[in-house]
Structure 1
Amino acid sequence: MDEGTRNRIRGAVLGQAIGDALGAPTEGMTRAGIREQFDRVVDFLSDDPAGTDDTEYAALTAQILLKYGTAVTPADVAREWTAALVDQETPFDGGGFSEMDAIHNLAKGLLPPASGSDNHELWSDGSAMRVAPIGAFAAGDPAEAARLAGIDAQVSHALDGIWCGQAVAAATAAAVTASSWQEVANAGLNATPEDSWSRRMIEKALAVAAGPGTEDERLDELERRVAIFHYPWADVAPEATALAFGVFAIAEGDYVEAVLGGVNIGRDADTIAAMAGAMAGALNGIDAIPTKWTKRLGPLRGSCIAAMAGVDLWRLADSIADSVDARKVLTDV
């Protein structure tokens, strides 16, 4: 594998985690509230930044893929979730509703797709938040990324919850080899079903991004037209995923501006910035991420998933790159 592709895979994995950590303090806020309190967030707000459940579930997803490869099945995902999560004795700090519902369903003996559909979180962004490693694993193959994301998502999601995960995975996979941000956005959009809620919301966000006004004005319009303020939670997958595609497009794929767009748009800011960070990191590579940010994130703490404590994201990204390289060698033989 050439170093450029390896650096894009690193960009996808680290880009997701850094977006997550940057966005954690503004989660649940509005743009107006962020402006009032911080003016504009341009760096970590914590002296000791760390990724949330988004990054720990992404690491679990990566480990499952590395273990089972492209032959992974929903039953494999359920088996690994059960082993890592069902008997966890410590609290799931920051764990999302969809994941907790899935864990309880697995504990009751339900398996995918029932474990991901016998709950009220069919539309949450818990799948989309964790698929950056899937996009990296399927580098350059959006269709394969969408297929794998669909397998992964069934343990905890259904319908739009799955489709949004497929959109982010496909976009990230495309970004590893893409030459333009438009290719990335189109790959994600094309991974969603025609006339689905997910697709309509992403189309709306991309239309706002392509509209008139300054970057700040378009971010304001993006929040106004996409955010679902009448719903009490900000983790609706079609909303958060659309906002991620919107900030990515407004930034024209630039890593720093895409991630900060997600941080400063509020709502489910950690997940929005994580998704935008995965796409932009994969498009531009690890060198586009400021060193002052990459140096701040150490091994995962296991705050939500105890089994993920100590995972090194750099090594995880390189393991994914090695797997991609090995599959390519087998294909070329």
Structure 2
Amino acid sequence: MTKAVHRVESLLRGMILGHQMGQWSERRWWGQRLPGEEAAQTAIGPEALQGQLEVLIKNPPAITTPGWPPTCFVDTVPHILGLGMEYARQNSMLSPEQFRDFMLGAREWLLPQGVQRSCLELMAEGMNPRISGLYAASVVSGCWVAWPAGIYWAVHADDAYEEGVKLCRTLNGGDIVELTGALAAAISQAILPRASWDCVKAAMLRKLEKRNESAFRLLRDAIQTAENCSGTQELLAYLRAPEFFASTCTVDCDWMQSFYSAAACLGYAFVHQMDWAAFLCLLLEAADSRFAAMIGASLYAAVNGYDWGVGWDEALDAVHHQELEAYLSACGPMLASRAARERRVAREIYTLTAGCRTAEEAAETELYDRILAGLLAGTAANVMGSPVEDRSYGWIAAHYGVVTEILDAKRIDTEDDAAMLIMWIETILNCQGRIYPEDLADTFLQKMNPKKFYYDSQHGLDVLKKGLKPHACGHWNVVTGSALMGCDGVGMYHVGDPFTAGRDGLELAYQYQRGFDVHAAAMLCAATAQALRRDATVENVIAAALDAAPREPLCLFDHLEKRDARAYFQEVLDAVEGYRDVLEVRQILYDRFLSYNGQDPWEVIALTLAIFKVANGDVWQCMVGGTNIGRDSDTIACQTALLSACMGGMASVPDYVLTLYEEKSLRQYKALAAELTALICKKAAGAQAAAAALQ
């Protein structure tokens, strides 16, 4: 990791240089004076910059606005390095909750600027961090999270983009959210050995084009215009024109121009191979906030190195030296650990696929066999449980005795659980990789027939059509367990990586659910990822599910006291310990673990884990047990059978189940399984290459 960490050091030293000089730029534009100055500086040239730089870096001027006390946002660097250390401590990507806890815990020494301060207060008052910034203003200062997010996701530009977005939108709204993702993506590429401006620029623009077309066009055009300018005065005239300022922000705040200016100045600097003094002058002249200099100087230093002379180095060493060294020391082990996890998962995938490259090759692999088994068994079990959904097991016993056959085989192509699973998998295939709420929302808008789903899913689609951001739509829905339908596809994609499967399942579920339902989806995604491993057992699949359960007690609809999910589900499992008859445990589960409604995810997960444990990996027993327990029988039967079939492969699926499928349906599931398996192989190859790139 030595080379990568060296590039990280270059990036961060450039960021600190830009920050220290950018503070001076802010003071200058705001008409302030340094002690001893007769008037505010109005023009900067390389000679003047060289003469003042060391002094200004060591003693950045406090920012004050006439008539106001100090605004308390003199220094952004501790935010960046502090969050970087949090990534190192967690040794993983951060959830919105972890970021919230970091910010709230650091309130005494981190003082975020106005918009972010308001959003932090909302989180302190209890608002979910995913929506605390939903309607906040777009201010460029929100982009600070891009540095630690981009560094953690070095190599993986798309993941860096989404990480930046996920954190930024807890504290900000508007275009800066997607622009922060674009910056994180650029950083993830800039710190790679042999990085070039072309690859950094491509990473900055790639996902932005898909997520925020207007911001993409403005950023792309600014870069292209700058790259075609013949001199700095031509570029400055373009960037400082009133109409350019107006195009960057919908409120009367000029700072958003700084982001676009930074990218434009970078384009010009790389074309003209500017020296550092001239480049800093350009950055400081072009924009009115420190963030242009921070963005520009950090990316320029990462790609070109920081050959700016001993004087600048000595001045930089006097500011934030200890914090920077501590983060750099933690950065190498953090990146090495991430790469090791990716290599381990890739090796696991290779053992199941022999490194297949095409869907045709994939169809001959063990992973394909197990994914196909999960799809077919889960869908058939869904159909088996559907006719007795919402009935009690007593009612089922009175009318059917024990249901041991599929009562209505025509449902095989219409059941909601199966339809949702197909939509999730098709989203993964369309995106050719990891998916996010925006991707799932696109599929819903294009393909979802609301009449085939329960009213909560219909409402989620309605809210989406009204223009609410996808990651927020589920916050105003009724909790029914509907996020459990379809989520297994994410677990399949993340085979061998239950942690990431759980994290992704949770975030995706917020697209149309909330409350414990999103955690239930996380648990089943993690369980599916574990079930596809070669060493999968009933015990470690259940352990993966419990590990993805929330660590903090949660509120319940029908109880005054909060509930510890892990302790509760362990109690469920303990209650059925030693039983081997899925019908025998029904009364035990009814007596102790029913919720106010059969679709409540607390109950669905409790009964799913219990039946899965008692069935001990037997697909047919899962189908019988899940069906005859009633309540949300179709989902319980589906999930238990799917997990067992993923463990056992096609050999574990009863022949009777396969006779239910018409040739057209069977071809569809086989194609889905083959394409998904081939994509998983592609992911494994990419993970190996990414790990090698960090060396």
- TM band (smaller chain): 0.7 to 0.9
Instruction: Output the CA distance in 2 between the equivalents of 1:215 and 1:296.
Output: 24
Instruction: Output the CA distance in 2 between the equivalents of 1:18 and 1:47.
Output: 8
Once the two structures are superposed, the pairs formed by residues 198-213 of structure 1 within 5 Å of their partners are 198-210=565-577
Counterpart for residue 111 of structure 1 = 469
2:491 matches 1:135: yes
1:135/1:172 contact within 8 Å kept:
yes
Counterpart for residue 307 of structure 1 = none
Instruction: Output the CA distance in 2 between the equivalents of 1:81 and 1:213.
Output: 40
Counterpart for residue 325 of structure 1 = 681
2:444 matches 1:81: yes
Residues 300 and 39 of structure 1: CA distance in aligned 2, closer, same or farther (over 3 Å): farther
Could you report, residue by residue, the CA deviation over 1:46-91 in whole angstroms, capped at 9, with x for unpaired residues? 2534251111011000001112244422222222212223xx5xx6
Instruction: Output the CA distance in 2 between the equivalents of 1:106 and 1:266.
Output: 32
Shift of 1:295: 2.5
Once the two structures are superposed, the pairs formed by residues 108-257 of structure 1 within 5 Å of their partners are 108-119=466-477, 121=478, 123-177=479-533, 178-194=535-551, 195-196=553-554, 197=563, 198-210=565-577, 215-228=582-595, 231=596, 233-257=597-621
Instruction: Output the CA distance in 1 between the equivalents of 2:599 and 2:480.
Output: 5
Q: Give 1:135's aligned amino acid.
A: G
Shift of 1:5: 2.4
Number of aligned residue pairs: give it: 315
Counterpart for residue 283 of structure 1 = 647
2:391/2:630 contact within 8 Å kept:
yes
Which residue of 390, 395, 400 maps to 1:33?
Answer: 395
Could you report, residue by residue, the CA deviation over 1:116-152 in whole angstroms, capped at 9, with x for unpaired residues? 1122x1x321111211221111111111211221232
Which residue of 83, 96, 101 maps to 2:459?
Answer: 101
Residues 37 and 139 of structure 1: CA distance in aligned 2, closer, same or farther (over 3 Å): same
Counterpart for residue 20 of structure 1 = 382
1:129/1:274 contact within 8 Å kept:
no
Shift of 1:218: 1.9
Residues 67 and 73 of structure 1: CA distance in aligned 2, closer, same or farther (over 3 Å): same
Counterpart for residue 39 of structure 2 = none
Greater shift in the superposed pair: 25-34 or 73-82: 73-82
Unaligned runs of 5+ in 1: 302-309
Instruction: Output the CA distance in 1 between the equivalents of 2:662 and 2:482.
Output: 23
Instruction: Output the CA distance in 2 between the equivalents of 1:163 and 1:277.
Output: 20
Shift of 1:330: 2.9
Shift of 1:275: 1.0
Higher relative contact order (CA 8 A, sep 6+): 1
Shift of 1:205: 2.4
Counterpart for residue 633 of structure 2 = 269
Instruction: Output the CA distance in 1 between the equivalents of 2:685 and 2:427.
Output: 21
Q: Deviating runs (4+, > 6 A) in structure 1? A: none
Please state whether the residue corresponding to 2:527 is helix, strand or coil. Answer: helix
Instruction: Output the CA distance in 1 between the equivalents of 2:421 and 2:582.
Output: 30
Q: Give 1:192's aligned amino acid.
A: A
Residues 114 and 311 of structure 1: CA distance in aligned 2, closer, same or farther (over 3 Å): farther
Q: Give 2:387's aligned amino acid.
A: P
Which residue of 413, 418, 424 maps to 1:55?
Answer: 418
Shift of 1:204: 3.1
1:12/1:172 contact within 8 Å kept:
no
Residues 47 and 64 of structure 1: CA distance in aligned 2, closer, same or farther (over 3 Å): closer
Residues 107 and 14 of structure 1: CA distance in aligned 2, closer, same or farther (over 3 Å): same
Shift of 1:267: 0.3
Instruction: Output the CA distance in 2 between the equivalents of 1:139 and 1:72.
Output: 15
1:125/1:235 contact within 8 Å kept:
yes
Greater shift in the superposed pair: 4-13 or 55-64: 4-13
Please state whether the residue corresponding to 1:217 is helix, strand or coil. Answer: coil
TM-score w.r.t. the length of structure 2 is 0.43
1:299/1:313 contact within 8 Å kept:
no
Instruction: Output the CA distance in 1 between the equivalents of 2:678 and 2:396.
Output: 40
Q: Give 1:92's aligned amino acid.
A: K
TM-score w.r.t. the length of structure 1 is 0.87
Instruction: Output the CA distance in 1 between the equivalents of 2:677 and 2:483.
Output: 22
Shift of 1:252: 1.4
Q: Give 2:622's aligned amino acid.
A: A
Instruction: Output the CA distance in 1 between the equivalents of 2:579 and 2:532.
Output: 29
Please state whether the residue corresponding to 1:113 is helix, strand or coil. Answer: helix
2:387/2:407 contact within 8 Å kept:
yes
Q: Give 1:145's aligned amino acid.
A: A
Residues 147 and 126 of structure 1: CA distance in aligned 2, closer, same or farther (over 3 Å): same
Greater shift in the superposed pair: 5-14 or 169-178: 5-14
Taking only the aligned residue pairs, the percentage that are identical comes to 23
Please state whether the residue corresponding to 1:44 is helix, strand or coil. Answer: coil
RMSD: 2.2
Instruction: Output the CA distance in 1 between the equivalents of 2:686 and 2:469.
Output: 33
Instruction: Output the CA distance in 1 between the equivalents of 2:404 and 2:591.
Output: 22
Shift of 1:190: 0.8
Residues 47 and 162 of structure 1: CA distance in aligned 2, closer, same or farther (over 3 Å): closer
Please state whether the residue corresponding to 1:48 is helix, strand or coil. Answer: helix
Residues 200 and 53 of structure 1: CA distance in aligned 2, closer, same or farther (over 3 Å): farther
